[in-house]
A and B are shown apart, each in its own frame.
Chain A
Amino acid sequence: MQDVLVGASAVTKDFHVGKITVNALRGLDLDIHKGDFLAIVGPSGSGKTTLLNLIGALDTATGGKVEVFGQDLSGMSRRERAELRLRSLGFVFQAYNLVPVLTALENVEFVLELRGEDGGRRATAMSVLEDLGLGELADRRPNEMSGGQQQRVAVARAVAAKPRLVLADEPTANLDSENGESLLKMMRQLRDEHDMTFVFSTHDPLVVAYASRVVTIRDGKIVSDIRKNSGEEAPGEGVEVRRKGTEPPGDGTEVN
């Protein structure tokens, strides 16, 4: 039996824009298991980001229940949710969102500082960067790095505190395929070596290709949930994945 990290059941989320109510999520059920390398796909506006916001304890559901590590988020205060994010969750954003005035190393170190870890923070941050092969970027500020480099540092920041679950919203959307692929390899390695679980929202076939599980949502509901066989899961070296015109495997083809 697999550990369930996130359990979402009958989740709804409404936004009120003026007099209009937008039903972004309409009764969504999803379990995320330990070790998942999960891609959430779906057309723009289908509710991917909204779902990540709920799982990431950044927002609260209108209806239904979201449990993260067995804790019901709806009963948690702002402070408790901040604590949960800090202790157990990592975030990677489409726009990288590194702190522009801090170097790569300082960006990573800052998360450790926010956690109140004392002593050896700098060394820990450095080893995280080095483990990910980013050692030579340590002293660069975000504006001195390419997008790909920034996003890899952002991943380093997300995983520095050893979170159990990393949420990434369209992490490769701003990257070319080469950078996208190296980012995915890095994250998959983290999952394999550090027992982390990754959830992506994405449009990117490359991410779908690397994913171990692909969930498709449309209009705030899950329309398919495909778990790949382990052999199928990772395209090996030299496997070509075309980004344009490639339908993400499983998208809309199978309904759970």
Chain B
Amino acid sequence: MSTPIIAKFAVRTLGRNVRRTLLSVVGIGIGVAIAVFMTAFMRGSTQMRVRAIAESGFGHVKVVPAEWERSRDNDLRLVDWEAELAVVRATRGVKAAAPHARSTALLGFGTRVAGVEVLGVDPVAEAETSRLVRAVVEGRYLKDGDRDVAVVGRTVTDRLEVELDDDLLLTVVSKGGEMEYAMLRIVGIIETGSRDMDASICHVMLEDVERLTGRAGAGDISITLDDPLRMDTAVSRLRAVVSPEDDVLTWMVVVPAQGGDYKSDKGFMNILAGTVLVVVILGIAGAQLTAVLERRREFAVLIALGMKASQVVRLILLEAVVMAVMGAGVGLLFVWFPLHQTATKGIDFSTMMGGDLAMSGVLFDPIMYSVPGLWVLPYAFIIAFVSTLIAAIYPAVFALRTDPTSALSLREA
């Protein structure tokens, strides 16, 4: 079958005013490039954020006592943490799970004190899930069999003026309301790059927290998932296996500041991309409208010859589709280099963030990468199609309104 004339008509029409067509195509291309870039970058930043949150000890999702979401009380404990840890680890989609027991505490050395949140951990599980374990710059992290030892943040050692192997005096308030003391030897020092964050780090063995506070067990289980995008599925699966008195929360609930940031970042990006596309659509609609107006006589003649409304619309949409294809191609061409650069080299945000990469207890990566993929291709074409088709609506309506009598008279020529 040969190409329908209407298709040749559409393509050649675009060749009639090459400059206008090129400008429109470049316009679509820019819109597509910006939308693709922002989406790829948003993906990267989301992945990085989610990874940073998970590896900062929060997990992707977390098992906590049901009461915790409301009170955020560190003294709450899970119903039967060992059993829950076992079923959680056996749940499909769970990559690693680390139990924690927390307590507010004072660290003292000589006459100096520092308030910290003591985190009782299982060192093996922690090593699997936390990036803080990798931030030990002096000494070592905790290991199985340790007792009465601590790994603390650099700011803590600076404030207390202590060093590796010094013994700290730890004071906590026990379950019974009494002061409990313990001597902890510093076996490792953590430096995250954020002084604020380092000021609150004090990791000890889970058993030590249990013994000192008199509260048995763990207060939460942080879980990292194989696929963080399928978080909601994982949550419902986990809710089905944990005790009814405990709950499973996503990072967005656990770290509401990050959840909010994530939503506003995403919203901002969408608004920005949307604005760009609206401007592009208006530009193309304007150019197309001019093109239709210039062709009034042509449309009048075609309508006089009996071309139906649907055929007129088809012609204009075909022109739009051809432009969309070219626009998507140009857009991909435009975006290729920035996408390649940001995907391989990334953008270093550390100086922008003043050297401190921690926010609301989350230790971020200094470099953000865009995450392009094959999705970029259909995405570019869909954006180009949708925006050019929207842009073609008004010009098409205009073409349809052409009075066919103007074909015969020269009055409106």
Contacts and interface: CB of A to CB of B under 8 A. Distances in A.
Interface of A: 49, 52-53, 56, 58-59, 78-79, 82-87, 89, 91, 93-95, 97, 99-102, 106, 109-111, 113-115, 122, 157, 169
Interface of A is mostly: helix
A83 B304 contact: no
A58 B407 contact: yes
A110 B6 contact: yes
Interface string B284-322: 000000000000011001111111110100000000000
B9 A79 contact: no
Given A97-B297, A97-B301, A101-B12, 4 more contacts: A91-B305, A111-B305, A111-B306, A114-B308
A142 B101 CA distance: 85
B374 interface: no
A82 B306 contact: yes
B306 A95 contact: no
Contact of B309 (A79, A89, A99, A106): A79
Given A101-B12, A101-B16, A102-B8, A87 B407 contact: no
Nearest to B5: A110
Interface residues of B, number: 29
A79 B307 CA distance: 10
Nearest to B306: A86
A49 B408 contact: yes
Interface-centre pick from A58, A83, A89 (highest chain B CB count, 10 A) = A58
A99 B308 contact: no
B352 interface: no
Contact of B5 (A83, A100, A113): A113
A2 B297 CA distance: 37
A87 B15 CA distance: 31
Interface of B: 2, 4-6, 8-9, 12-13, 15-16, 297-298, 301-309, 311, 404-405, 407-410, 413
Q: Name which of A94, A100, A114, A122 has the most chain B CB atoms within 10 A of its CB.
A: A114
A94 B410 contact: yes
Contacts of A87: 306
B304 A91 contact: yes
Contacts of A59: 404-405
A101 B13 contact: yes
Contacts, number: 90
Given A85-B304, A99-B298, A101-B16, A91 B407 contact: yes
Contacts of B297: 95, 97
B122 to A, nearest CB: 74
A169 B408 contact: yes
B315 to A, nearest CB: 10
A155 to B, nearest CB: 13
Given A87-B306, A91-B304, A101-B13, A106 B408 contact: no
A53 B303 contact: no
> What are the 9 tightest A-B residue pairs by CB atom distance, in nearest-first order?
A86-B306, A101-B12, A85-B306, A97-B301, A110-B5, A53-B405, A58-B404, A169-B408, A58-B405
Contact of B9 (A78, A91, A99, A122): A99
A113 B304 contact: no
A101 B408 contact: no
Contacts of B12: 101-102
Contact of B413 (A82, A95, A100): A95
Nearest to A107: B5
Contact of A83 (B9, B303, B306, B407): B306
Nearest to A84: B306
A39 B12 CA distance: 37
A100 B302 CA distance: 12
B5 A93 contact: no
Contacts of A106: 5, 8-9
Nearest to B11: A101
A217 B407 CA distance: 22
B15 A101 contact: yes
B305 A86 contact: yes
B308 A93 contact: no
A113 B301 contact: no
Nearest to A169: B408
5 contacts: A95-B297, A101-B15, A110-B5, A114-B305, A122-B2
A157 B306 CA distance: 12
A113 B4 contact: yes
